[in-house]
Chains A and B, each alone.
Chain A
Amino acid sequence: MDFVEYKCPCCGDALTFSSRAQKLKCASCGNEYEPSAVEEWEAAGKSDVEPDLHWEYQKEAECAKRTEDGKYICPSCAAEIEVDEDTISTKCPYCDNVVVIKATASGEYEPDCMIPFQVDASDAKQKMEHFCKGKRLLPRGFKDKSYLKNLKGYYVPYWLFDCEAQADMSFHTTRTRCWSDSDYNYVETSHYLVQRGGEMTFYHVPVDGSVEMEDATTESIEPFDYKDVTAFNPAYLAGYETDKYDVDAKTAEKRAKERLYNTAESALRNTVVGYETVVPKRRQMDAQSGKISYALFPVWLFEMVYDKKKYQFAINGQTGKMVGELPVDKGAYWKYLWGFTALGTILFSVIGILLFGGVL
């Protein structure tokens, strides 16, 4: 015979059924529960692992056009060009024509769509210069504006995730009531199991497919305006650097899953009102018609290594949104810190002595 054991949601001790109250009762803390409530509570606590979402890829890969020895032919001057495996477009060293290398190896993807550059190089430099202006902690090398040479137009490979999602989540919530008598203040805390389910449609959630690009950078320049999305056209790549993705869609799924789960939790949590505390207990999601597209989005990128650390600064090549991290000159940091401290100490001491030292 199988024994069924339920644990008390309050103290974790074993519950027994009280025939008198027709409820499950905890001998340890004295709480009584409706059997259905305990079943729901137990079910909400069972699944610790958040299920993965299921996706389908948009289309199969196309074969690359290249010579037998792995070189590419310039369509303008027919010269043989050597490029590394990740290159999608490059400039011909003989005729200066931009050569687009469509797909590089079998089993890889050609982009499904892209957004062409709308912010030109001079705008990008101006924005960058404006951002650096007045930054007192920048290293000295920034004063001569030579850093602007490092700014490059770059089509960043992105994976775009689309799905119709069903989310089902449980929250442990509390509500409090306070009252007093002549001797004591009382606080009654009521605990609830709140369950919410919902449907929502996600369109083109982007996850970058480049190892070189840090997630913090690519996510910070979001959003891109999808009104300008066009089918992939190699002509748009002319004059810009482009790399094939080196983070595959399967790897990018993890980040997409995190963002979708967090969004669903936030949307459902917003419907949980009237409680003082709301703590997620279980999160489950299922994606219908999940699709992944491969896209190229325009980014002006500035990179440098300072004090053995890599710094990345990016401008959204479509909207002009600027984000990034600039290096901090440690000498300047300490100079300003102690300079202000010394100045402040003198100023506050004089004011303090005048006001509290018995001078005035």
Chain B
Amino acid sequence: MRLKRQRLLKSIGMILAAAILVLGLPWNAHVSCAEGQQDDLTAYGTGQSWIIDRADLLDEEEEQILYEKCQLAYDTYGVIVAVVTVDDFGGGDILEWQKGLFAKHPFPAESENGIMLAVSMSERDWGIQTIGSAQRVFNTYGREQIGGVVVEKLSDGDYYEAFAEFADLSMQFLAEADAKEPYSEEHPYRESVPVWLIIAVAFVLSLVISTLIVNIWKKGMNTRVVQNEARQYLKPGSFQLTRSSDIFLYHTVSRTPIPKSDNNSSSSMHSTSSGTSGKF
């Protein structure tokens, strides 16, 4: 009886061990995949959001704000504005990877016009890829303007600010192209300054100029100048030098290090006909 009980327990143990082994294999495999994650394009089906945050750089609230900005762009201009973050896009050209991603239609709408900012954290790659008519709106000049602003914030680790700036700038570029013409070297983009700042600067500038003018007037009311010398009462030709000696005493030497110029720029960018990318 005791032997039977021992066999039963042994059998249950073996079954449990086998079950753990069988269940454990795919679990381990999933962990190893997450550690050396390479994003498989097939994993992106038609999605629910313009923001795909695989690298987990944003919290829910930030994602929601960005989603609303991108949704507004799509609703207004019918252009996809999207942000994708991954741990590792798999190497190669990030712009090609983005092109492939666009083809998989991972965003809420299947528009043929769009702009996507992608960030890959493993090699600190970023890329702005465009498709369809968005290539005209976000030409090389435009992508480099947006990229310049975005990469600065990415380098500082301000990911949400970078993505929000990307969405806002995309909206501004779309609006300008819709109202007039796309920003270009001939029609350059200028960052608009807040009105309160313009008024504050105008006030300070006016105050300085006014103070200058009124004080020049005030100074003109007093033309008196104390004469500390009597040079005009020196008889012409009467000055004669009678002694002249220059004695060296000592010298001091100071040195300052020459600052070395740092050419290892980590935020250079290059552009193709439809995209702009670089490192941050």
Contacts and interface: CB of A to CB of B under 8 A. Distances in A.
Interface of A: 9-10, 29, 31-34, 36-37, 40-41, 135-138, 164, 166, 168, 173, 180, 182-206, 214-217, 219-220, 222-223, 256, 258-260, 262-263, 266-268, 271, 322-328, 333, 336-349, 352-353, 356-358
A352 B255 contact: no
B255 A184 contact: yes
A343 B207 CA distance: 10
B interface, over-half SS: mixed
Residues of B in contact with A, size category: 35 or more
Given A202-B235, A341-B206, A188 B253 contact: yes
B233 A204 contact: yes
Contact of B201 (A191, A219, A352): A352
A266 B228 CA distance: 11
A324 B256 CA distance: 51
Contact of A191 (B199, B227, B249): B249
A348 B255 contact: no
Given A37-B248, A262-B228, A336-B217, 17 more contacts: A189-B254, A190-B248, A190-B250, A192-B246, A194-B247, A195-B246, A196-B243, A214-B224, A262-B230, A263-B230, A271-B241, A324-B223, A327-B221, A328-B221, A337-B210, A348-B201, A356-B193
B63 to A, nearest CB: 28
B228 A259 contact: yes
A201 B234 contact: yes
A211 to B, nearest CB: 17
B242 interface: yes
A339 B209 CA distance: 12
Contacts of A32: 250
A340 B210 CA distance: 6
A158 to B, nearest CB: 12
A200 B234 contact: yes
B194 to A, nearest CB: 8
B224 A216 contact: yes
A189 B201 CA distance: 43
Contact of A183 (B199, B230, B253, B257): B257
A187 B253 contact: yes
A195 B251 contact: no
A220 B228 CA distance: 11
